[in-house]
Structure 1
Amino acid sequence: MKTNEKDTKQRVVPALRFPEFHGSKGWDLKPLSAYLTEYRQKSDGKSKVHSVSLSKGIVNQKEYLGRSFSADDTSHYKLVKPYDIVYTKSPTGDFPYGIVKQNFNPYNVIVSPLYGVFTPNNQYIGYIIHSIFESAIRLNNYLSPLIQKGAKNTIQISNDTFISKEILLPDNEDEQRKIADCLSSIDALIKAAENKIDELKAHKKGLMQQLFPAEGETVPDLRFPEFQNAGEWKQTTIGAICRISNGKSNVQDNVQNGEYPLFDRSETVKASNKFLFDCEAIIIPGEGRFIPKHYIGRFDLHQRAYALKDFTCHALFVYYYITAFSFILTQKAVRSTVLSLRMPILEAFPLLLPNNIQEQQKIADCLSSVDDLIAVQTNHLEALRNHKKGLMQQLFPNVNNREE
């Protein structure tokens, strides 16, 4: 029997395949509808309203967002079973055409009637589809030819259209299971790393609350033993303990090959006509979110930011103090189209300062050690994500790599 020439050309073999599937036929281009079926059931009257988050997946609205944004009558909301796939049809960050997530909750939930809900042939192919569409590039490439933009830039795509386009996926359920198990094991490691970072950040936040005096107090709740009898902290302001500047335009000084290094990054940035410093400084944005950054060495400063330098106390201590109480800057900022931080507001920023610079050093060292742990875990997380990205590129073939 002669093999259909069209089918042969469409078969594709992944670069990386599990040993037991070596020699098996390649994957075929098929519409997504071969793997997903629209699930049209409405609310069962008892399942809770969930949202679809880019980072957290399908989550309870009240638990994740603090309150429900659903309509008073949710009887027309769509039911989502465990392992179902949900397509949001609403732009989010790098996903201008919406996001796609699998329901990992072990129970039914309900979601907005605007979403598409689809039941996969099995949980494994559902996980694979979820993993493929975690990539903004893959999802955008899949959806861009299908999307029509309506009035006010709204996304127009039917559920039937969403599953109409061809995609390369394995048909063998055993191979589907193997791939899904592999990806889920990496995702578990990624999740553990994310949780560790969250725990460290929460620990750091708790430390700052204890190491710095609470409002109305002049000593912290937690003090190192050698400073128990060191007395109260003194009240001062940012303007009294450092110089605040917008920088100076000496951009050509000591710039090698048009680049200069930043303190806390391995990368370099191109020299420009922006302001440069060559010292230890705390940088605070002039508008938006006033989260400080600490730099040592040569760095670039945008003119809508402030550099705090030439400290009469321990600079890193001040950095952590401002970080802990940055909400004060937000409260006092000028409110217009964006929050704007004026120089007098920054100069008057209040802070309490230990009289002994050794105590300032001890607090800064304690918090920076936690930051070091966070940095290690962040690098570990990035390595895991890159590993998964590379694995995905090998596990899922390019359509051009056809079997001969």
Structure 2
Amino acid sequence: MREQRKQALLPKLRFPEFREAGEWEEKLLGAVCDMQAGKFVSASEILDKPAKEHYPCFGGNGLRGYTKSFNQSGRYSLIGRQGALCGNVNLVEGNFYATEHAVVTTTKLGIRTDWLFYNLCLLNLNRFATGQAQPGLSIDVLEKVNCAVPKDEKEQQKIADCLSSIDELVTLETQKLDTLKTHKKGLMQQLFPAEGETLPKLRFPEFRDARKWEERELGPLTTKVGSGITPMGGDKNYKTKGRPFVRSQNVGWGELILNDVAFIDEETHQSFDSTEIKVSDVLLNITGASIGRSAVADSRIAGGNVNQHVCIIRVKQDKLSPTLLNHFLISERGQKQIDSFQAGGNRQGLNFAQIWSFVVPLPPTEHEQRRVADCLTSLDELITAQTQKLAALKAHKKGLMQQLFPSVGGVDGEAGRGGRPVVDGAQG
């Protein structure tokens, strides 16, 4: 048992100069840092726009706004206490204010703030939240969470510098992704005519002398506009394999999100034959918070079905490119048209008659349709590639963190009685 404990407190990956430095020490977070809850900040104190004398105000879910007063200055780790991001950790520098929904940590002697930040991130603190209606983290519980600490502060510095360099790469690649998305958004506004106009601001050279664009009602350009239903019994009928069952969360802004796609069996599929997906169907979310998101169906979901929150728009491809339609629907002008059907701007839902009545600007030839669609699709491919690159970098960082920090009791995800992790021998 003692040998297992020693192995648990040695990281799997260690920098050469520290390989003979011995095992790390197991400590409670309360021995590593002091913790203090922030103070209540009223809505009237939060300012919409930052000014020179204003400071960021952090709550449990991140930045809330700006306030004229502040209670901290320096570099600290903040832990969210309640809300959707309970247990979330942020590294904050400079002057700031923390609300009662955040815990401010102050490192003790021999502990580096940036190293502690990465350690806290790895601990998955949300596991220790207590309560039913709105689970939250108490300082008493946090102080009893176990962590491992290297004896040499220089090793802390080395680990923090390594992970910080990866964070810098993540920031850079995120900026590249945001730039691509911004470029595409601006290009879409130029490749489609503005409302009330018949010519786009930007047109490919070979079409500059071509006829004007026309506005067409979507209905006559389709062979199908309809959605599906959810099987009786709801998600109890979902399978791990079978026919793909596409829900609103699987339809993104111009892309399919299939990491959590559900499946239904063949018998259920046969009862939903009128909602079978075909390649090149345009899928549009028509209810809920994700209303207006759309994507084009491909071979991964062809032969599957949609539920009642997703509408299948099947176009006459000799009249309208499904890819062009998809790009238009998620464009600023397309979204404005979708919003116009929502009473009071609540975005409650779209019916088939409204979808049928969508007005779509179309170039005079199929060739120009394809050129516009292909141009935007090529940008989508760049965005997808950059997204994958960013995801791989984040996965690399996560794996590296797991190797640079050894596991300690209560950190590896094992749960005690009642399914909650054990903290220092007691239930969390």
- Alignment TM-score, normalising by the size of structure 1: 0.78
From 13, 16, 33, the counterpart of 1:19? 16
Q: Could you report, residue by residue, the CA deviation over 1:60-108 in whole angstroms, capped at 9, with x for unpaired residues?
A: 82xxxxxx5x6xxx65x532x332111231222xx4x3422111x3x22
Are the counterparts in 2 of residues 11 and 27 from structure 1 also a CA contact under 8 Å? Answer: no
Distance 2:365 2:186 in 1: 23
CA pair 41-219 structure 1, distance change in 2 beyond 3 A: closer
Counterpart for residue 214 of structure 1: 194
CA pair 384-337 structure 1, distance change in 2 beyond 3 A: same
From 60, 72, 90, the counterpart of 1:101? 90
- Aligned positions, number: 362
Query: Is 1:176 matched up with 2:178?
Result: no
CA pair 321-396 structure 1, distance change in 2 beyond 3 A: same
Counterpart for residue 140 of structure 1: 126
Secondary structure (helix, strand or coil) at the match of 1:90 reads coil
Counterpart for residue 86 of structure 1: 78
Q: Could you report, residue by residue, the CA deviation over 1:223-252 in whole angstroms, capped at 9, with x for unpaired residues?
A: 111111112111111112112333689x9x
Counterpart for residue 371 of structure 1: 380
- Alignment TM-score, normalising by the size of structure 2: 0.74
CA pair 122-280 structure 1, distance change in 2 beyond 3 A: farther
Counterpart for residue 313 of structure 2: 308
Alignment gaps of 5+ in structure 1: 62-67, 252-256
Alignment gaps of 5+ in structure 2: 42-51, 232-240, 247-254, 270-274, 411-428
Q: Could you report, residue by residue, the CA deviation over 1:11-66 in whole angstroms, capped at 9, with x for unpaired residues?
A: 711111111111212112111122212469999x9551333586xx6x582xxxxx
Counterpart for residue 297 of structure 2: 295
Distance 1:99 1:382 in 2: 19
Deviation at 1:199, TM superposition (A): 0.5
Are the counterparts in 2 of residues 132 and 138 from structure 1 also a CA contact under 8 Å? Answer: no
Deviation at 1:153, TM superposition (A): 2.7
CA pair 47-39 structure 1, distance change in 2 beyond 3 A: farther
CA pair 328-336 structure 1, distance change in 2 beyond 3 A: closer
Secondary structure (helix, strand or coil) at the match of 2:181 reads helix
Secondary structure (helix, strand or coil) at the match of 1:308 reads strand
Distance 1:376 1:124 in 2: 39
Counterpart for residue 167 of structure 2: 187
Deviation at 1:10, TM superposition (A): 9.6
CA pair 156-138 structure 1, distance change in 2 beyond 3 A: closer
Query: Is 1:31 matched up with 2:24?
Result: no
Query: Is 1:110 matched up with 2:100?
Result: no
Distance 2:320 2:102 in 1: 56
Deviation at 1:349, TM superposition (A): 0.9
Distance 2:347 2:368 in 1: 37
From 200, 203, 206, the counterpart of 1:223? 203
Query: Is 1:157 matched up with 2:157?
Result: no
